[in-house]
Amino acid sequence: MGSASVIRLTSPCTLRHRALAVRLVAETCRLVRGEGTADEQSMGYDLRDPFDAEIVSAFAEIYNNIVLHAYGRREGETIDIAFHIGAGMLTIEIRDTGVTFDPTLVPEPDLDALPEGGMGLHIARSMLDEVVYEPGPPNLWRLTKRHRPAATSTKAS
């Protein structure tokens, strides 16, 4: 993709490994914003910057979808994640070999009805500049967000 630098993670794709991937996303966001990594002693997430919060929110939902739906919680599956760090922009490519689906068939949640499910893709789409899904194998999710220092709100209102 011609990015300045790329960070890759190949990991078992389970909910037990989710925190590892999410933490890597959070740390990569700090690099895009020109900051160093967080305090090594900190066990919590530092998501005060909206850029970090929105990417982590979106990634976490896509990761959940892959574990729960593409792989159906099966053990022994893997996920490949590539972080392309550009100038003020982060693109995350996620590859899995699970069941494919058609994102265009996923309805927008009726937020007035206080849904208890079906919100993940809505969160991802709303928090990012671009969400691309290409069925495989391997299936590819491409999540892109530009860092706008002055912008502190999500696209959705």
Residues in touch with another protein (CB under 8 A): 15-16, 18-19, 22, 43-48, 50, 52-54, 56-57, 60-61, 64, 68, 111-112, 114-117, 119-120, 122-123, 126-127, 154, 156
Contact 63, 22 (CB under 8 A): yes
Closer CB to another protein, residue 81 or residue 123? 123
Give the nearest distance from C-beta 120 to another protein in angstroms.
Answer: 5
Closer CB to another protein, residue 118 or residue 137? 118
The helix (run of H) or strand (run of E) holding residue 142 is strand 139-146
Give the nearest distance from C-beta 135 to another protein in angstroms.
Answer: 23
Closer CB to another protein, residue 4 or residue 41? 41
Give the nearest distance from C-beta 11 to another protein in angstroms.
Answer: 15
Closer CB to another protein, residue 16 or residue 105? 16
Give the nearest distance from C-beta 6 to another protein in angstroms.
Answer: 25
Instruction: Using the Cα atoms of residue 1, residue 71, residue 146 and residue 121 in order, give the sign of their dihedral.
Output: positive
Closer CB to another protein, residue 2 or residue 75? 75
Compute the distance between CA of residue 47 and CA of residue 24 in angstroms, rounded to an integer: 13
Length of the chain: 157
Give the nearest distance from C-beta 77 to another protein in angstroms.
Answer: 16
* Tokens describing residue 95: 């590859």
Decide the pairing of beta strands 5-12 and 139-146.
unpaired
Compute the distance between CA of residue 40 and CA of residue 13 in angstroms, rounded to an integer: 25
Contact 98, 64 (CB under 8 A): no
